[in-house]
Amino acid sequence: MRWVRLGVVSRPIKSSETNGDAYLFVEWKRQTLMAVIDGLGHGGEAYIASQKAREYMEDHASEDLEEIIRGCDRHIRKTRGVAIGLVRIDRNTSRFSCCGVGNVETRILNKRSRHPISTAGIVGYNVRKIRRFDYPYDPVGVVIIHSDGVSGRFDPSKYPHLRRDPQRAAEQIIDQWGKETDDATILIAVETR
Ligand SMILES: [Mn+2]
């Protein structure tokens, strides 16, 4: 059964057909794990780094967020590294958990809206302390994760259909706020009861 309505767009920098960004979305047993991954720079090397990170996270989806990031950091050492925004919705423990490293931004639109900060660093290169943020679960919550190829200046409230049609909102945000000079990815996950 599907718990979350998903909208996602990921596209490469204008000068390339290879996308150095990637995303992950998995659901099982009342849990959802999602991530946006930005391979450093762009092109083939960035693609290899972000795909390798995505595969690792998918294979270790049930571990704690900090462990996933730490394991990923070891696993992709030979690549140029990635930035990651990682969020779990756990309906068993009734919380949202978030971990971010580098320039991927996460917003939780909840009873109270949250904007957890990412730890500085590069996964695969120099991850030190990882900070996890936990928020109470809200069955009408929205999670937005985006790479820095999307300007952080967009205002989600300007997209009144975002909860109903997150795919359309994601396409509009990429259109209006995506940078041609970078790979760009936005993932919007809306809780459905
Ligand atoms: Mn980027």
* Residue 105 alpha carbon to ligand 1 centre in Å: 11
Contacts of the segment 46-50: beta carbons below 8 A, 24+ positions apart: 46/18, 46/20, 46/21, 46/80, 46/183, 47/18, 47/19, 47/20, 47/22, 48/79, 49/20, 49/76, 49/79, 49/80, 49/81, 49/82, 49/124, 50/20, 50/21, 50/22, 50/82
Q: Is 46 helix (H, G, I), strand (E, B) or coil?
A: helix
Domain boundaries, the chain: 4-191
Q: For the chain, how far is it from start to end, CA to CA, in angstroms?
A: 11
* Residue 45 alpha carbon to ligand 1 centre in Å: 13
Report the pLDDT value the prediction gives residue 128, as an integer from 0 to 100: 85
Q: Give the whole-angstrom CA distance, residue 71 versus residue 50.
A: 14
* Residue 1 alpha carbon to ligand 1 centre in Å: 33
How is domain 4-191 classified at the CATH fold level? Phosphatase 2c; domain 1 (3.60.40)
* Residue 2 alpha carbon to ligand 1 centre in Å: 30
- pLDDT tens for the chain, 193 residues long, are 578 999 999 999 999 999 999 999 999 988 999 999 999 999 999 999 999 999 999 999 999 999 999 999 999 999 999 999 999 999 999 999 999 999 999 999 988 888 998 999 999 998 988 999 999 988 889 999 999 999 999 999 999 999 999 999 999 999 999 999 999 999 999 998 7
* Residue 16 alpha carbon to ligand 1 centre in Å: 13
* Residue 184 alpha carbon to ligand 1 centre in Å: 7
Per-position DSSP letters for 11-30, written without gaps between them:
E--TT-SS--EEEEEEEETT
Report the pLDDT value the prediction gives residue 1, as an integer from 0 to 100: 58
